[in-house]
Amino acid sequence: MNHSLKALNTFGIDQYASEIVCAENEQQLLDAWQAANALSQPVLILGEGSNVLFLDAFHGTVIVNRIRGIEVTEQPEAWLVHAGAGENWHHVVQYTLQHGMPGLENLALIPGCVGSSPIQNIGAYGVELQRVCDYVDCVELATGKLVRVSAAECRFGYRDSIFKHEYQDRFAIVAVGLRLPKQWQPVLTYGDLVRLDPATVTPQQVFDSVCLMRTTKLPDPKVNGNAGSFFKNPVVAAEMAEALLSRFPGAPHYPQADGSVKLAAGWLIDQCQLKGQTIGGAAVHRQQALVLINVDNATSEDVVKLAHHVRQKVGEKFNVWLEPEVRFIGQMGEVNAVEIIA
């Protein structure tokens, strides 16, 4: 257990793994997985560790996916971008914009690797990955067979996909295909983007605005370890939202296509006066209540206790029970984060 994971998770939590392997191609990834499997060891495939909380030492092999490469195919109506799972997500956003292929600008500065993007169905400022995802290329770990999963087969939901369920331990993502239509439509529904004029706005202006919002409101993981948004924005039934809005008319809310209503977790936490709240070395960020940060050598226990405290306070005040967006990793693999902080 002498392989430190501290540099491999943006929370900066000091935990260890039995083995760490860096895979730069599918074969290396497969070999590492099959070697661990032969020893009946658990395996965790990691990108940039921007959305994980290590609860304990990991009793197995951590495979760091560094499969890179960006290829573009032009079609009459769209650009098809094929990006290796180990590519940095923001780098791909920048690359597409620089080459005149807009569509990813709302997703700028989301930390992590391309391979993590379909697992979480990452989203920000009114756009989710499913809007631009064409396919996900995977390798079936037991057989080494390459499988292309269409966007429809990914079963995308809010911060959810088939890769969190049936495909979680059977497949490793090696590349993601993105489809960026040439008929660009700006999405200006969230945050400061509403101030931009849809008739004249450029993709670069949307990108710049998103980057400004993220850098001013969100802490830099290099300064204070964090995993970005710690909690999902809760989605509640229309009646529940109505009752909440009658008590708190100013609450941000976003009606969904199925009649449910998405609430802003950050706003709910803020209403409980929790900004700056600390437990041990962990704190609720003072600018963005949705982010829990490592201010002073926080342990995973500090973060769990703080997350529990936040969940309780919001639940008592609003009867809305927050769920972590961050994935919790125990000794043998991923565990149920809601159960841990309940």
**Active-site residue identified among 26, 87, 105, 325:** 325
Can you tell me whether residue 209 is helix, strand or coil? helix
Alpha carbons 37 and 24: distance in angstroms, whole number: 19
Write the single-letter amino acid at 242.
Answer: E
274-277 contacts at long range (C-beta below 8 A, 24 or more positions apart):
274/309, 274/310, 274/313, 277/306, 277/309, 277/310
Question: Beta strand pairing status for 225-229 and 291-294?
Answer: antiparallel
Give the single-character DSSP code of 100.
T
Of 24, 9, 19, 64, nearest in space to 42 by CA: 19
Here the tokens at position 323 are: 């769920």
Of 308, 334, 304, nearest in space to 322 by CA: 308
Contact 125, 110 (CB under 8 A): no
User: Does 148 qualify as catalytic in the annotation?
Assistant: no
Stated length of the chain: 342
Angle separating helix axes 89-98 and 203-217, nearest 10 degrees:
150
**Active-site residue identified among 66, 159, 214, 311:** 159
**Active-site residue identified among 66, 229, 300, 311:** 229
User: Does 229 qualify as catalytic in the annotation?
Assistant: yes
Contact 289, 309 (CB under 8 A): no
Of 207, 212, 208, 221, nearest in space to 48 by CA: 221
Can you tell me whether residue 39 is helix, strand or coil? coil
Give the single-character DSSP code of 113.
B
Alpha carbons 270 and 40: distance in angstroms, whole number: 45
User: Does 170 qualify as catalytic in the annotation?
Assistant: no
Specify which residues 133 forms β-bridges with: 178
Alpha carbons 20 and 294: distance in angstroms, whole number: 24
Listing DSSP states for 181-192 in one string gives: ESS------SGG
- Active-site positions? 159, 229, 325
